[in-house]
Amino acid sequence: MGPTGSGKSTFVATAAGQGFGAVGHGMMSHTASVQLTRVTHPTSKFPVVLVDTPGLGDTYKSDTETLSTIAEWLLKLFRKDVHLAAIIYLHRISDNRMTGSLLNNLKVFVGLCGQKAMPNVILATTMWSEAREATAVRREDELRSVFWRDLVADGCRIERFEDTHQSAWRIIGNISQKSSGIDVIIQEEMGRDGQKANETSAGQHANQPHVSKSFLAGLFGLFSRH
């Protein structure tokens, strides 16, 4: 996951490797903008499905539409008793400011995941080649000590994506077939507890002042449909 242009599709293509192509295989087919790529873990040889999601901040789609696509896919996964092994959130280290839109993106992401999922979340920075090393390292420190501090305290890891196949898999880590996987909070709240819109963490989260009124309205609209 991550904002548009943070390098999600590139990450998946790099992890899948040469000659693979980003072929979306329809495990849950009609969610067209969530792309699935089946690969084999390079060391453990376990089958892995890489999930590429559309990012908030898209040029042509509203954040509400994008969030709706992701939430519906997650809910479908939950109902099929399929669980996520890890969640990777990408952030461009070349961005010189944590803009309101980037921050909003992060808040929505955290609202979807919930605290319990954090040990399975990896915050990965991309586009190191697009920034001066010293500047990028300073930004990484700022992310760790300010914007990502609470998430790190809840157990997520911070990694650097170095544009290589090896780096991608180091970030994904050792996915074991024994691991039963995780659910993100929005899946539990909507799928298991049947919570109403404004009761979900993301819904409550949307009360934060930097979230625009129209976005908030859209978010409530989305959750009350289920």
Ligand X SMILES: Nc1nc2c(ncn2[C@@H]2O[C@H](COP(=O)(O)OP(=O)(O)O)[C@@H](O)[C@H]2O)c(=O)[nH]1
* Options 2, 5, 7, 9; binder of Mg ion; rule CB under 5 A: 9
| Rg of the Cα atoms in the chain | 17
10 binds, among ligand X, Mg ion, none (CB under 5 to 8 A by kind): ligand X
Q: By CB under 6 A, is residue 129 in contact with ligand X? A: yes
Report in angstroms how near the CB of residue 136 gets to ligand X at its nearest. 12
149 three-state secondary structure:
helix
Q: By CB under 6 A, is residue 24 in contact with ligand X? A: no
Tokens 């792309």 — which residue?
A: 35
Tell me the torsion sign for CA atoms 145, 150, 154, 159.
Answer: negative
State the pairing for strand pair 35-40/47-52: antiparallel
The CA distance from 176 to 199, in Å, is 34
Q: How many CB atoms lie within 10 A of CB 220?
A: 18
* Options 98, 163, 167, 205; binder of ligand X; rule CB under 6 A: 163
Q: By CB under 5 A, is residue 167 in contact with Mg ion? A: no
In this structure, the chain runs to a length of 226
Report in angstroms how near the CB of residue 57 gets to ligand X at its nearest. 9
Q: By CB under 6 A, is residue 5 in contact with ligand X? A: yes
List of residues contacting ligand X (CB under 6 A) = 2, 4-10, 55, 126-127, 129-130, 163
List of residues contacting Mg ion (CB under 5 A) = 8-9
